[in-house]
Amino acid sequence: MNGRVFSGAQPTGTLHIGNYFGAIRNWAALQEDHECVYCIVDYHAITIEVDPNVLRAASRSMALDLIACGIDPERSILFVQSAVPEHTELAWILGTVTSYGDLTRMTQFKDKSAGRKFVSAGLFTYPVLQAADILLYRATGVPVGKDQVQHLELSRRIARRFNSRYGELFPEPEPIVPKKGARIMSLADPSIKMSKSAGEAHYIGVMEDESSIRKKIRSAVTDVGLKPGSEMSPGVENLFEILELATAEGGDPTIVRELREEFEAGKLLYSRLKDAVFEELIRIIRPIQQRRAEVAQSGKIEEILEEGAMRARELARPTIAEVRKRVGLG
Ligand code: TRP
């Protein structure tokens, strides 16, 4: 074992292939040689108004998605954040060793608050809760996408300030960012990252049905002119990226080479590239969808999450007890 890993995913309803290639499959791989704690962060989700019934369902749905993508609740701890209230207790305490100025510099806050009528204080202090998530388990590695590196840097600063004020307790967590797959772009607008918020046409859901996936890939933005040696447009590059990532997972990489050669020669038909992307994606997605259906069918998800929360609390309690003692609380 190479230390403890922690990561969190917001219960957004459904995973898309950007989440899968950028983060989740890395979570699964880390299980091989790390002690992994994976959390569905519903306390984070309420920083932006969300319907309570939708939220509760989304947390369960995200748990099923994660298991389907290979998170093994026997090997790893998988739980819903709010089932372990120690997260919020530690967040309050860490808020007192967090610099206000640092929080004002968080780009995710600037992005998420822009254009909103109501911006909650929770959205502003969101990175403190994230630091609490990680430090509560004294995790040393945090698999995340590139967009979370700034939050991780803040988590380290928070750990450092706590340690210097109250004595060494928290290791400084390092981000584990995948080299490949960290940035899948939208199919409908390859200048922006794939995300659900941009709308249906922009992403491919891991649990989406095949005909809908086919349609989205067919209508993915490419370009018109094809001359030998011409530069690849962002849309085409993105399709190649997806194809490469998919074939790297037990597929045949020769197809990528062939299609690249055809591109170089100015002979590539984009319909051929799109068909290959579809085939390779489906090859990966189909067994994930089957697994999800099986786990959902088994009716065990509540039990799995309860067990996960129990194991998480066992790790969290001694940390909180030590923090309270050091800070002089209780
Ligand atoms: N902020 C992360 C995101 O938007 C989610 C998250 C919450 C997280 N707590 C975490 C990620 C702790 C890593 C570790 O993706």
CATH number at 232 reads 1.10.240.10
Residue at 191 is within a domain: no
Look at residue 266 and tell me whether its pLDDT is greater than 80: yes
The first and second tokens of residue 115, run together, are 């254009």
Residue at 187 is within a domain: no
Phi, psi of 249 (to 5 degrees): -95, 70
Look at residue 221 and tell me whether its pLDDT is greater than 70: yes
Between 33 and 231, residue with greater pLDDT: 33
Same domain, 318 and 240: no
**Nearest to 44, CA basis, from 126, 166, 142:** 126
Look at residue 226 and tell me whether its pLDDT is greater than 70: no
Return the ligand 1 atom nearest residue 129 CA.
9
Residue at 89 is within a domain: yes
Q: For residue 13, what is the DSSP state?
A: S
CA distance 24 to 311: 21
**For the chain, how many structural domains are there in total?**
2
Residue at 265 is within a domain: yes
Same domain, 141 and 282: no
Residue at 157 is within a domain: yes
- pLDDT at residue 182, rounded to an integer: 66
Active-site residue list: 112, 193, 196
What mean pLDDT do residues 211-237 have? Answer: 87
- pLDDT at residue 145, rounded to an integer: 85
Same domain, 166 and 135: yes
Same domain, 48 and 91: yes
Instruction: Write out the H or E segment, with its range, that includes residue 143.
Output: strand 141-143
Q: For residue 205, what is the DSSP state?
A: B
Look at residue 181 and tell me whether its pLDDT is greater than 80: no
Residue at 189 is within a domain: no
What mean pLDDT do residues 299-316 have? Answer: 98
CA dihedral 188, 190, 194, 200 (to 10 degrees): -10
Same domain, 216 and 305: no
Same domain, 51 and 80: yes
What mean pLDDT do residues 93-108 have? Answer: 98
Same domain, 160 and 267: no
Q: For residue 171, what is the DSSP state?
A: -
Q: Is the CB of 8 under 6 A from ligand 1?
A: yes
- pLDDT at residue 231, rounded to an integer: 83
Please report which confidence band the pLDDT of residue 213 belongs to, taking 50, 70 and 90 as the band edges. Answer: very high
Q: Can you give the CATH number for the domain in which 119 is found?
A: 3.40.50.620
CA distance 7 to 173: 11
- pLDDT at residue 178, rounded to an integer: 83
Same domain, 139 and 225: no
Strand partners, 77: 37
| Atom 14, ligand 1: residue with shortest CA distance | 7
Same domain, 66 and 139: yes
Same domain, 286 and 308: no
* Ligand 1 midpoint to CA 211 (Å): 32
Return the ligand 1 atom nearest residue 44 CA.
7
By percentage, how much of the chain surpasses pLDDT 90? 88
Return the ligand 1 atom nearest residue 126 CA.
1
Please report which confidence band the pLDDT of residue 225 belongs to, taking 50, 70 and 90 as the band edges. Answer: low
Same domain, 176 and 234: no
Same domain, 149 and 249: no
Give the residue numbers spanning the domain of 285: 196-292
Please report which confidence band the pLDDT of residue 2 belongs to, taking 50, 70 and 90 as the band edges. Answer: confident
Identify the residue whose tokens are 């797959």.
181
